[in-house]
Amino acid sequence: MTLDSRLPVVFIGPMGSGKSRIGRKVAAAIGVPFIDTDSVVVAGHGAISDIFERDGEQRFRELERQAVSESLAEQAVVSLGGGAVLDPRTQDDLRGATVVLLTVTSAAVAKRIQGGKRPLVADGGITAWERILEERRPIYEDLAAATFDTSTGSLTELADDIVTWLKEG
Ligand SMILES: Nc1ncnc2c1ncn2[C@@H]1O[C@H](COP(=O)(O)OP(=O)(O)O)[C@@H](O)[C@H]1O
Ligand SMILES: O=C(O)C1=C[C@@H](OP(=O)(O)O)[C@@H](O)[C@H](O)C1
Ligand SMILES: [Mg+2]
């Protein structure tokens, strides 16, 4: 199978698993555009924490769905926000994509999610992160064609492993 026929390649997984950082590296390595759906929302509507605070999570999910729908139509590497897969329309769209699940242990992610940029864990921290992951785990696992754990290893090594898998697949 050619690499082109595998596009879009889509990264899913919990907050802090490395979707945004690793997705960008994989796109650069295979020479296709990179789209981060959170960045699309931010470019159009401002900071995610401000959207949550001002308009609520439901409004964020509507804006996110719009960004996801447009992004998945592109021949690109696309990194979703951790909760984007909750939308059944996105679950349907992903059946035609190459979906890569990134996982991470709670021990490894604890430091990564500090800083207040992610409203769903801003107060509850790692306990909230674990609860949210357990709610979403069946969806993640159902959609994934491959899973890579990012708890150890450098971003570059992980991106290399994923590119190798994409080329082999
Ligand atoms: N394998 C890794 N090793 C070290 N730090 C990582 C790794 N993966 C991600 N990070 C760090 O974790 C943070 C969250 O990564 P990010 O790509 O934004 O995750 P996501 O998009 O899945 O929420 C970033 O600061 C990033 O540098
Ligand atoms: O898991 C979630 O519901 C969210 C994940 C975030 O993206 P990352 O997974 O890239 O951190 C961002 O979309 C928002 O804060 C909500
Ligand atoms: Mg991200």
In this structure, what token pair is assigned to residue 76? 């690109």
What local confidence, expressed as pLDDT, does residue 88 receive?
98
Ligand number nearest to the C-alpha of 36: 3
Ligand nearest to the CA of 83: 2
Evaluate whether ipTM surpasses 0.95: yes
The mean pLDDT values, 10 residues at a time, for the chain of 169 residues are 91 98 98 98 97 97 98 98 98 97 98 93 96 98 98 98 94
Q: Which residues of 46-80 are buried (b: 16+ CB within 10 A; e: fewer)?
A: eebeebbeeeeeeebbebbbebbeebbeeebbbbb
Give the residue numbers spanning the domain of 36. 4-168
pLDDT value of position 15: 98
Q: Which two tokens stand for residue 67?
A: 């960004």
Strand partners, 98: 9
Q: Which residues sit with Cβ closer than 5 angstroms to ligand 3, an ion?
A: 19-20
Residues in the chain, total: 169
| CA 169 to ligand 3 centroid distance, Å | 25
Residue 90, amino acid: T
pLDDT for 63: 98
Residue from 20, 21, 24 to probe ligand 1 pocket by mutation (most atoms less than 8 Å from CB): 21
* Tens digit of each residue's pLDDT (9 = 90 or more) over 56-70: 999 999 999 999 999
- What total number of domains does the chain contain? 1
Phi, psi of 143 (to 5 degrees): -85, -20
Dihedral sign (CA 131, 145, 78, 156): positive
CATH number at residue 111: 3.40.50.300
pLDDT of residue 2: 83
pLDDT of residue 1: 67
User: What confidence tens digit (pLDDT) does each residue in 61-103 have?
Assistant: 999 999 999 999 999 999 999 999 999 999 999 999 999 999 9
Cα angle for residues 19, 24, 30 (degrees, 5° grid): 120
Instruction: Name which of 152, 165, 38, 143 is nearest 88 in CA terms.
Output: 143
Q: Does the annotation list 19 as a binding residue?
A: yes
Ligand 2: centre distance to CA 51 (Å): 13
